[in-house]
Amino acid sequence: MVEVITQHAHPDPHGTLEAKIGFILKQAGVPVSEIDQCMIWAFGIDWAYLNIATQWADRWIKRHPGLPVIVGTESFVETVFAIGTMYLVAKQKAALKIGRG
């Protein structure tokens, strides 16, 4: 599970990458309990072991060919925030499909 910073207005610059990601996703509206699931949706179960600079973009394109390419095109904070936003939209669309079934 990803450690999430909850008591600071900004992520600790010396904190873990996972904590920084968790903080940004929380700001995007991803529930704390779904932060790991969000990153698994975005990049797969091994997301924490991928190199951000060299592997995130390729993995995103392979997993989400119909979605805009957001990885590698913006700042780290903007990219992670966009991932959280797209996760929430995908989750909502999935819920609508199940509800119509």
Answer whether 0.75 is exceeded by the pTM: yes
44: left (phi over 0), alpha (psi -120 to 50) or beta: left
Q: Looking at the chain, list the stretches that DSSP marks H as alpha helix, in order from N- to C-terminal side.
A: 17-27, 35-43, 52-63, 76-100
Q: Look at phi and psi of residue 10 and say left if phi exceeds 0, alpha if psi is from -120 to 50, else beta.
A: beta
In a domain, 36, yes or no: yes
Into how many domains does the chain fold? 1
pLDDT in the model for residue 99: 58
Q: Does the residue 11 lie in any domain?
A: no
Cβ neighbour number for residue 30 with a 10 Å cutoff: 24
Within a domain: residue 49? yes
Q: What is the pLDDT of residue 72?
A: 67
Does some domain include residue 34? yes
8 pLDDT tier (thresholds 50, 70, 90): very low
pLDDT at 4 > cutoff 60: no
**Which residue range forms the structural domain that includes residue 91?**
17-100
When pLDDT is averaged across residues 2-21 and rounded to a whole number, the result is: 63
> Is residue 4 domain-resident?
no
Q: Which residue has the tokens 């529930």?
A: 31
Q: Which residue has the tokens 């990153």?
A: 39
